[in-house]
Amino acid sequence: MKTIRTVPDLRAALNGPRRAGRSIGLVPTMGALHEGHLSLIRRARAQCDQVVVTLFVNPTQFNDHQDLAAYPRDEARDAALAAEAGADVLFVPSPAEVYPRGFATTVTVDEISAPLEGAQRGPAHFAGVATVVTKLLNMAQPDVAFFGQKDAQQVAVIRRAVRDLDIPVRIEVGETIREPDGLALSSRNVRLPAADRHRALALRRGLDAVRACHAAGERDATILAAIGRAAMAELAVEPEYLELVDPDTFTEIHSVGDEPVLVAVAARVGDVRLIDNDILDAGR
Ligand code: AMP
């Protein structure tokens, strides 16, 4: 695996394979790699000839300076894990490489970006995500880019930006990888103090309660959400949001019908902000 730090070097490394007709897969990450990331890298490895993993803690998508400062960074560890999972190239640009002096262009995706994560983290969050992902897609020009279902709203924002801007890439989504007890893997989990680790299960408990209530026949979104909140309260966790939305548009759902519905939840457990989601499907 080669580590590359500049856009010209990345282009140079990928030119040969591209000309030879080899497919390129891109896995964007902010590092602190865990099984969730590695599952995406292995998926890319299985489908593509050249696997590029990017490692960039994107400052523009953080609304909280402390969160950005506290974000775990360990390039040597990430490089070893990415190589073992099958990456050919680790792209680690500096902030100045991504945002050179005079940088003035932002990709904003209206509507989908506004509720839930957008409302909690502010409008700059998804603008930061959409802009950096658009840039990474332009830098590497992959055939396929891989993202995790754990960040469901991010997936919807990226899919829409790719469609609206005619970016020639296929977006593929990998399932959420979890700890054995159900906690979704996140780079932020390492910051959970032992005393809060158990309470972090509240998100999954809330989603499970919604799922069980839906399976028992409840269709009213307000009631389903209230059941989820009550299950979280048992672990003394109050969600920032727990809502049922359309998985493509992120508009609120009032009643669950035959179409799949996304149940999205976010909560602070101690100092750590966690998110998770589940899909309710009439067939499941
Ligand atoms: P991040 O480094 O948090 O920006 O995440 C990089 C990619 O990994 C994103 O596409 C995430 O959705 C994905 N990801 C993060 N956590 C998980 C997880 N537990 N399971 C699957 N994918 C994940």
For residue 283, name the pLDDT band (cuts at 50, 70, 90): low
Q: Whose CA is nearest to atom 6 of ligand 1?
A: 29
Q: Which of 151, 179, 183, 207 is the pocket-test mutation for ligand 1 (most atoms within 8 Å of CB)?
A: 151
Indicate whether 51 and 168 sit together in one domain. yes
- Return the pLDDT at 202: 98
CA distance 59 to 50: 27
For residue 74, name the pLDDT band (cuts at 50, 70, 90): very high
Say yes or no: CB of residue 44 within 6 Å of ligand 1. no
The CATH number of the domain holding residue 159 is 3.40.50.620
Indicate whether 147 and 16 sit together in one domain. yes
Indicate whether 166 and 49 sit together in one domain. yes
- Establish if 95 belongs to a structural domain: yes
Indicate whether 163 and 220 sit together in one domain. no
Residue 1 class from Cβ within 10 Å (0-12 exposed, 13-18 middle, 19+ buried)?
A: middle
Instruction: Count the Cβ atoms, other than its own, within 10 Å of residue 203.
Output: 28
Percent residues over pLDDT 70 in the chain: 99
Q: Please identify, by atom number, the ligand 1 atom nearest to the C-alpha of residue 33.
A: 2
Closest CA to 251 of 156, 159, 161, 165: 156
Residues 117-128 have a mean pLDDT of 97
DSSP β-bridge partners for residue 265: 242, 276
Quote the ligand 1 centre to 158 CA distance (angstroms): 14
Indicate whether 246 and 198 sit together in one domain. yes
- Return the pLDDT at 282: 75
Q: What is the pLDDT of residues 127-181, one digit of tens each?
A: 999 999 999 999 999 999 999 999 999 999 999 999 999 999 999 999 999 999 9
- Establish if 42 belongs to a structural domain: yes
Query: SS3 sequence, 8-28?
Result: HHHHHHHHHHHHCCCCEEEEE
Q: Please check the confidence at residue 100 and state whether its pLDDT lies above 60.
A: yes
Indicate whether 130 and 8 sit together in one domain. yes
Dihedral, CA atoms, 153, 51, 189, 243, nearest 10 degrees? 10
Q: Which of 26, 27, 29, 91 is the pocket-test mutation for ligand 1 (most atoms within 8 Å of CB)?
A: 29
- Return the pLDDT at 19: 98
Say yes or no: CB of residue 184 within 6 Å of ligand 1. yes
Quote the ligand 1 centre to 251 CA distance (angstroms): 23
Q: What is the pTM of this model?
A: 0.97
Say yes or no: CB of residue 174 within 6 Å of ligand 1. yes
Q: Whose CA is nearest to atom 18 of ligand 1?
A: 36
Q: To which residue do tokens 């932020």 refer?
A: 188
Indicate whether 93 and 210 sit together in one domain. no
3-state secondary structure of 110: coil
User: How many residues would you count in the chain?
Assistant: 284
Domain ranges, residue 235: 189-277
Say yes or no: CB of residue 176 within 6 Å of ligand 1. yes
Tell me how far CA of residue 177 lies from CA of 10, 212, 229, 276, in angstroms. Answer: 29, 21, 23, 11
- Establish if 139 belongs to a structural domain: yes
Say yes or no: CB of residue 37 within 6 Å of ligand 1. yes
Q: Please identify, by atom number, the ligand 1 atom nearest to the C-alpha of residue 150.
A: 12
Quote the ligand 1 centre to 37 CA distance (angstroms): 5
Indicate whether 107 and 21 sit together in one domain. yes
In this structure, what DSSP letter does residue 163 have?
Answer: H
- Return the pLDDT at 38: 98
CA distance 45 to 59: 28
Task: Answer with the one of 123, 146, 174 that is the final residue of a domain.
Answer: 174
Count of structural domains, the chain = 2
Indicate whether 241 and 121 sit together in one domain. no
Q: Please check the confidence at residue 284 and state whether its pLDDT lies above 80.
A: no
Say yes or no: CB of residue 93 within 6 Å of ligand 1. no
DSSP β-bridge partners for residue 170: 144
Say yes or no: CB of residue 130 within 6 Å of ligand 1. no
Tell me how far CA of residue 102 lies from CA of 96, 132, 273, in angstroms. Answer: 10, 16, 32
Q: Please identify, by atom number, the ligand 1 atom nearest to the C-alpha of residue 148.
A: 12
Known catalytic membership, residue 37: yes
CA distance 279 to 273: 21
- Establish if 284 belongs to a structural domain: no
HSE-up (13 A, CA, CB side) for residue 273 = 14
3-state secondary structure of 6: coil
Indicate whether 170 and 193 sit together in one domain. no
Alpha helices in the chain (DSSP H): 7-19, 35-47, 65-70, 75-85, 95-98, 117-121, 123-140, 152-164, 194-197, 202-215, 221-233
Residues 227-233 have a mean pLDDT of 98
Indicate whether 85 and 162 sit together in one domain. yes
Q: What is the pLDDT of residues 191-221, one digit of tens each?
A: 999 989 999 999 999 999 999 999 999 999 9
- Establish if 196 belongs to a structural domain: yes
